[in-house]
Structure formats: structure tokens, C-alpha cells
Amino acid sequence: MKIFLDGRFVDEADAKISVFDHGLLYGDGVFEGIRVYDGRIFRLVEHLQRLFASAKAIMLKVPMTQEELLKACCAACRMNSIHDGYIRLVVTRGVGNLGLNPFHCPKATVFIIADKIALYPEKVYRKGIELITASTQRVNPAALSPAIKSLNYLNNIMAKIEAIHAGTIEAIMLNAQGNVAECTGDNIFVVRGGRIETPPVSDGALIGITRGVVFELGAKLNLPVSEAHLTRYDLMTSEECFITGSAAEIVPVSTVDCRPIGAGKPGPVTKQLMAEFHKLTRSEGTSIATK
């Protein structure tokens, strides 16, 4: 495997960063997870825009332009023969000293990995995923904006540990007010009363790229999609529930804290959105061959 690292491609064994990199020492950096379908990178421009927005929010200067990163992502796919897969694009604060001061890091580190991915077993897309509610709360949006897709995922990892110990693979995270924020790595939606609803950023939700696609598909299919404050009760009593993410795509939810959602299997709205999303990902995107 070839890894893009600071302007050049190196062998996987040689893709190394310094132990003094603040991305390692403090989780100081930003990243994007991006899907590749049939030789096209889905919503690459949107991912790059979000990366630069996250970097600006934490005063991190990305040492490449969006166009240069776009070309590097395409090249990484070509170098590794990835026609269907996943790209992890990471920008760290770079090498500094052992102190917190980020301005002692003269240049950010950039690396890109293009590889295969299978986030969830195939059966969950047919039967639905079981969710539990984690006791680990989502970081307060007033402390750190959930719109920043940073390298510091310890909050999410602690909730993921709870899910694994409970015998499942994903968990719902609540905010300090008891409202639903998101899952450990995915946004969450419910279908109720003829509407599709998802938590707002103010409740701790990431502005997900796939989340945004659901809003687009809803408009196309004449299915109202909106933001709403949601509680565990709203999830448990919903007609349908599903989670979304670039790696996960759209995943139906079968149970929440052992309560069946609807009939306990993927509902008609979720299945319609999954089918439309599948068609969309195979009809648009940035071609890896032309950049």
C-alpha cells in the first residue's frame, strides 16, 4: 500500500510521523472519512470544504490547497487500485514540543490513506442494527463545537466501549440536557408522523455529509426532513429509525435499548432512502481517473 505523506507517496512501512506531532500528543488536528464508489469519490468537494472549515475553527493552517488535496485523494486511489473503498484524509498540527502551545508547530502534517472498508456486517443492512444508549455524554457544544471534525475522539470511543460490552456495535449518545446528540460515529434519524427528524448541531450532532444527503433525498422524494430535539422516548416510540455516516452509509435500526422500532426491521421509508442513496453514490462523484 502507498500512503500520501506530506507531498509524496511512501510505502506503508515508511508512513511514519514524529512522536512530537501534536496530532499524536494531543489529538490536535482534523480529518475526513470519504467513500469511493465505482471509481468516483463521493462528495469529495463537500468533504474538503468541511475539512478546511474545521481547520479554520481550530486555527490550523492546511499546507495544501483544496485543489491539491483533491488531486492527492484521486492519486491515492489510483496508486492503491481503489475503485470501491474509503479514504482517510488527516491534517495534524504537526511537529512541536511537549507543551500545549500549537504555535510552536511550524507546519501541519498531511496524510491520506486509500483502502477498503466494511464498517458494519452486511446483515445489519438487511435486518437492522441494535442500539443501546451510552452513559457517556456527548461533549457539551458550548465547550467544543460538534461541527469541528477533530482527531480527538476519546468521548466517542468511551461510548463505543459501552456498546461493545453490551453486545452490540453502536451506541446513542445524549447531551447534558438528556437530548439525543448522535451515535459514536454516525448521525441518527427517526421517522414519525410522516416526517424524518434528526438532532440539530446545537444538541451535539456533527454536520454529516450523508446527513445532508438525506435532506436532499427527502426533498426529492417529497418526504419532509427537519431538525428536532429528540429524546430516548422519541427514538423508542418512532415508526422507523436509521443512522447515517460516510463509512456506514444508511443503516436501519431494529431496536433501541431492547425496544423494537416499528416492526423491528427496516421500514419502508428507510429502505426507500437506502435505495436512492445507493443509486446516487453510483451516479455522481469526482472521477479518480481525471485528476
The catalytic residue positions are 149
Cα–Cα distance, 285 to 45 (Å, whole number):
9
Cα–Cα distance, 265 to 252 (Å, whole number):
8
Strand partners, 170: 131
* Strand, helix or coil for residue 22: helix
Cα–Cα distance, 41 to 245 (Å, whole number):
15
Cβ contacts of 78 within 8 Å, gap of 6 or more: 288, 289
Measure the CA angle with vertex 159, ends 205 and 47; round to 5°. 40
Residue in 226, 278, 245 with CA at minimum distance from that of residue 47: 245
Measure the CA angle with vertex 276, ends 131 and 274; round to 5°. 15
Residue in 227, 208, 225, 230 with CA at minimum distance from that of residue 270: 225
The dihedrals phi and psi of 99, each to the nearest 5 degrees, come to -85, 170
